[in-house]
Amino acid sequence: MLDRLLASHPCAVLSGWAVAVFGAVVWSGAGGPLPWLLGPMVAYGLARGLGLPLREWGWGRALGQCVIGVGLGTRFTPEVVAGLAERWPWLLSLAVLALLPAPLGMWAYRRWGGLDRIGSWLCALPGGASEMAVLAERHGVPAAPVALTQGLRVALVVSLVPWSLLWLPGELAPVGALRSAPGGTVLAWQAGLFTLAWAVLIAVPTAALHRRRWPNVWMMLPLLATAVLMSLLPAWTAHRPLGLALTVPAAALDVAQLLLGITLGSKLDAQAWRQAPRLTAVATGVVLTSVALCGLVAWCAAAILPPGPAPWLTHYLALAPGGMAEMALLARQSGAFLPEVIATHVLRLMLVLALAPGLLRGVASRSPSAPLPPATPP
């Protein structure tokens, strides 16, 4: 009777939240990095692996991404936007460099993962898990291995990169306090109401675009819309002291990170290892190699590109093959130049989504055993 009650949808979701909060508190007490993201991820994954009937809230990931998108968009002041406009060729170059580990990953998935050429490319490209799974279905490739490897990629990168930053020597070490939760802002009631109204307003078109299957829209649209508003707001209010300001409280960001941690933890449970142990082992090796290559490329980029704030750290997080929301949170807390990290990840995702269909058709045309995918989705 108790097992049946816990397995019901509301109880399973609430139990998952309780496990996630417990993981965040323990992780924070142990001094771990990003406690409200990594703590829930590890605790939720372990609980699922032990067989607890936990379920993820369907709108949890979307809500978390929307809050984080608004919070990160507040960093795009007019001065920051002007600086990014001057550096756009270098940002595009970094986005292209972020794709360099993909051919190596494709080779590894094909040789040791038992996948065909199209499936190997879809597992290796650093796009979103849902977007790559949709491409797999459109091209007649099983979507389960693609979703598994893409989810593991993000979860493993989020697990590895913060710890690697804690052990950096001297000048490469983050200037922020990775071991503490992000600081917050005490909200005046006008700023709080304005931020809440803006979040609700931007959620309406975001939900509409989500129904049309736009990629990563719950992160991208709130972030870009808030960035545009922040870059224009000073000019609008220069001669009209309306007292408008966008500020997201620390508690809201903590809850958003917790919801994302639950999503990532659902990809790290023992079920994935039991279903496809060889593929998950290959994915782990690919992620480790990609992270090491990104660190090396970031070091070269820091020496070649025009200097900026925390150059190696910024380039490293911009090149890391993790999710945009997770890498942006890490950049926010570690002292990296957040707008450059976000801009590079946005460009990388756009490149992957633009180039992937043509790449897959080219791969299929050279492979007699693979059917030629359709030019347009059915």
User: Which of the four pLDDT bands, split at 50, 70 and 90, describes residue 189?
Assistant: low
What pLDDT score was predicted for residue 269? 60
Assigned domain for 372 exists: no
Q: Is residue 147 part of a domain?
A: yes
Classify residue 371: in a domain, yes or no. Answer: no
**Within-domain flag for 222:** yes
At 243-300, the pLDDT tens digits run: 566 778 878 888 888 998 888 787 766 666 666 788 888 999 999 999 999 999 999 9
pTM, whole model, 2 decimals?
Answer: 0.76
Phi-psi region of 367 (alpha: psi -120 to 50; beta: other; left: phi over 0): beta
Residue 378: inside a domain, yes or no?
no
- Structure tokens of 266? 């659902």
Q: Is the pLDDT higher at 125 or at 266?
A: 125
Asked if the model's pLDDT at residue 373 lies above 50, the reply is no
pLDDT tens for each residue of 201-254: 888 899 888 888 777 788 888 988 988 888 887 777 666 655 566 778 878 888
Cα separation, 277 vs 273, in Å, equals 5
- In 3D space, the residue among 78, 47, 90, 70 whose CA is nearest the CA of residue 249 turns out to be 70
Q: In this structure, is residue 374 part of a structural domain?
A: no
Confidence class for position 42, pLDDT limits 50, 70, 90: confident
Q: How far is it, in rounded angstroms, from Cα 110 to Cα 279?
A: 10
Q: So what's the pLDDT on residue 169? A: 52
Count of the separate structural domains present in the chain:
1
Q: Note whether residue 256 is domain-resident.
A: yes
Residue 254 DSSP one-character state: H
Q: Which domain holds residue 202?
A: 2-366
How many Å apart are CA 341 and CA 231, to the nearest integer? 18
pLDDT at 376: 42
Report the sign of the C-alpha dihedral through residues 228, 86, 239, 338, in that order. positive
User: Is residue 339 in a domain?
Assistant: yes
The CATH number that applies at residue 128 is 1.20.1530
What are the Cα distances from residue 247, in Å, to 80, 184, 196, 241? 17, 9, 9, 17
